[in-house]
Amino acid sequence: MNVLVAYDVATESAGGRRRLRKVAQACKNFGQRVQKSVFECVLSEMQFEELVRCLVEIIDEKEDSLRVYRLVEPKEKYVQVFGVDTSVDFDEPLVL
Amino acid sequence: MHQLLNTLYLTTEGAYLRLDHDTLRVEVERETKLQVPIHHLGGIVCFGDVLVSPAALARCAQDGRFVVFLDRNGRFQARVEGPISGNVLLRCAQHAAMGSVDKTLSIARNVVAGKIQNSRQIVLRAARESDQSDDGDALRQTAEALANVLGRVPLSPDLEHLRGLEGEAARKYFATFDRMVREDRAVFALNGRNRRPPTDPVNALLSFLYALLMNDCVAALEGVGLDPQMGYLHALRPGRAALALDLMEELRSVFADRLALTLINRKQVAASQFHARPGGAVHLEDAARKEVIVAYQKRKQEEITHPVLDQKMPLGLVPHVQARLLARVLRGDLNAYPPFLFR
What is the distance of C-alpha A11 from the center of its chain? 18
Residues in chain A: 96
pLDDT at B110: 92
Q: With an 8 Å Cβ cutoff, are A96 and B8 in contact?
A: yes
Q: With an 8 Å Cβ cutoff, are B40 and A42 in contact?
A: yes
B91 CB burial (10 A radius; 0-12, 13-18, 19+)? middle
Q: With an 8 Å Cβ cutoff, are A95 and B290 in contact?
A: yes
Find the closest chain A residue to B17 by CA distance.
Answer: A96
pLDDT digits (tens, 9 = 90+) for B11-63: 888 999 999 999 999 999 999 999 999 999 988 989 889 999 999 999 998 88
Average pLDDT, chain B: 86
Residue of A29, A92, A95 with shortest CB distance to B37: A29
pLDDT digits (tens, 9 = 90+) for B119-158: 999 999 888 888 887 888 888 888 889 899 888 888 888 8
Q: With an 8 Å Cβ cutoff, are A94 and B34 in contact?
A: yes
Q: With an 8 Å Cβ cutoff, are A29 and B26 in contact?
A: no
pLDDT at A54: 94
pLDDT digits (tens, 9 = 90+) for B158-199: 889 999 999 999 999 988 888 888 877 777 777 777 777 887
Question: Predicted confidence band at B1 (pLDDT cuts at 50, 70, 90)?
Answer: low
Residue B47 distance to chain A (closest CA, Å):
10
Question: Predicted confidence band at B85 (pLDDT cuts at 50, 70, 90)?
Answer: low
Query: What is the pTM for the complete model shown?
Result: 0.77
Q: With an 8 Å Cβ cutoff, are A29 and B21 in contact?
A: yes
All residues of chain A having their beta carbon less than 8 Å from the beta carbon of residue B40 are 42, 90-91
All residues of chain A having their beta carbon less than 8 Å from the beta carbon of residue B33 are 96
B280 CB burial (10 A radius; 0-12, 13-18, 19+)? exposed
Closest CA to B170 of B186, B187, B194: B194
Residue B328 clears pLDDT 70, i.e. is over it: yes
Which of the pair, B37 or B288, is modelled with greater confidence? Answer: B37
Cβ-Cβ pairs closer than 8 A, A with B, add up to: 64
Task: Identify residues of B whose CB sits under 8 angstroms from chain A CBs.
Answer: 3, 6-12, 15, 20-23, 26, 28, 33-37, 39-41, 290, 293-294, 296-298, 301
Q: Mapping DSSP to helix (H, G, I), strand (E, B) and coil, where does residue A57 land?
A: helix
Q: With an 8 Å Cβ cutoff, are A96 and B35 in contact?
A: no
Quick one: three-class SS letters along chain B? CCCCCEEEEECCCCCEEEEECCEEEEEECCEEEEEEEHHHEEEEEEECCCEECHHHHHHHHHHCCEEEEECCCCCEEEEECCCCCCCHHHHHHHHHHHHCHHHHHHHHHHHHHHHHHHHHHHHHHHHHHCCCHHHHHHHHHHHHHHHHHHHHHHHCCCHHHHHHHHHHHHHHHHHCHHHHCCCCCCCCCCCCCCCCCCCCHHHHHHHHHHHHHHHHHHHHHHHHCCCCCCCCCCCCCCCCCHHHHHHHHHHHHHHHHHHHHHHHHCCCCCHHHEEECCCCCEEECHHHHHHHHHHHHHHHHCEEEECCCCEEEEHHHHHHHHHHHHHHHHHCCCCCCCCCCCC
pLDDT at A31: 93
Q: With an 8 Å Cβ cutoff, are A94 and B8 in contact?
A: yes
All residues of chain A having their beta carbon less than 8 Å from the beta carbon of residue B28 are 96
Q: With an 8 Å Cβ cutoff, are A28 and B21 in contact?
A: yes
Which residues, in sequence order, are bridge partners of residue B78?
B69
